[in-house]
Copies of this chain bind each other. A is one copy, B any other.
Amino acid sequence: MEKICIFGVGLIGGSLALALKEKSFCRQIVGCSRNESHLKRAQDLGAIDSWTLDPCEAAKDADLIFLATPVGAIEAVLKSIQGCVSEQTIITDGGSCKQSVVDAAERAFGRLPDRFVPGHPIAGKEKSGVDHADAKLYVDHKVILTPIETTDPTAVAAVTEMWETCGANVQLLNVGQHDQVLAATSHLPHVLAYALVETVANTTYVSEIFEFAAGGFRDSSRVASSDPTMWRDICEYNRDAILEMTSLYRDRLESLEQLIEAGDSDGLFELFSRARKVRDGRFG
């Protein structure tokens, strides 16, 4: 490829850029965002070759555009480029909620362009910003693509090749399934971690509690250090699936509390054993 354009050169966009540079996947990478200092930093770090604050200039003549902004900003970016992007240009994104991205593209273009491949790399860190970007971020991680019926297979193949170049494993899901799976695996744990930190921060012994917080608390709360803008958007754009999961979660938590309240040793032992087995089956 000649030119790739990345909107939002933070952790996700910056890591993709670094990986593609390392593999010489394209001749030039242009960055675009609303923040000049972020773009300068991305250029200093060698993630992008050049940058512009003008979306049309960035998108013009691009072979591929990657949208790495928070989900809530995608519609505005698409509207700003829809008059200047070629029909040959492949567009893909890294948003955590796919129905909302499909909807945004439909509002911007009238319909989802055939060469728009909605995507989501299942990788990240609780640290945000291009300073934490890493050419190895996607190695051995999954990337989900959610093409719809009318999506051009050659565009899907090109986006797949881009991610595989970064070391990722690409898999296809449909849009709705993606949003439900991610609500459970990612969005729910984030909401729970935010609630955990809020709970502890509002207890009487808060200073002692944080002083004695060790590995269990550290890991359980890790994702509460994630970017607030990103997670505000995810909670807005995948609201229904998230609320379905939190509701199921509260039911499970209440059942567990009832076992504790009742002193049901056998019930607790059985539940804890089952949970350990399930988790070890995936991560043990």
Contacts and interface: CB of A to CB of B under 8 A. Distances in A.
Contacts of A281: 210
Interface stretch (A43-51, A103-111, A270-278): A270-278
Contacts of A282: 210, 213
B214 A223 contact: no
A184 B205 contact: yes
Contact of A195 (B124, B173, B204, B252): B252
B276 A263 contact: no
A224 to B, nearest CB: 5
Nearest to A210: B282
Chain A: number of interface residues, binned into ranges: 35 or more
A141 to B, nearest CB: 7
Interface string A183-227: 011101111111111111111110011111111111111111110
A197 B192 CA distance: 12
A122 interface: yes
Given A185-B200, A217-B186, A232 B195 contact: no
A247 B260 CA distance: 12
Given A186-B216, A199-B245, 13 more contacts: A123-B215, A142-B214, A177-B205, A177-B208, A180-B204, A180-B205, A198-B271, A213-B283, A224-B275, A235-B260, A236-B263, A236-B265, A236-B268
A232 B276 CA distance: 13
Nearest to A284: B225
B214 A122 contact: yes
Contacts of A204: 180
Contact of A214 (B141, B208, B248): B141
A197 B278 contact: yes
A209 B228 contact: no
A256 B198 contact: yes
A246 interface: yes
Contacts of A200: 184-185, 188
7 contacts: A185-B213, A189-B216, A192-B192, A192-B196, A197-B278, A222-B279, A224-B275
Given A197-B278, A246-B257, A275-B194, A222 B225 contact: no
A18 interface: no
Given A198-B275, A199-B252, A260-B235, A220 B217 contact: no
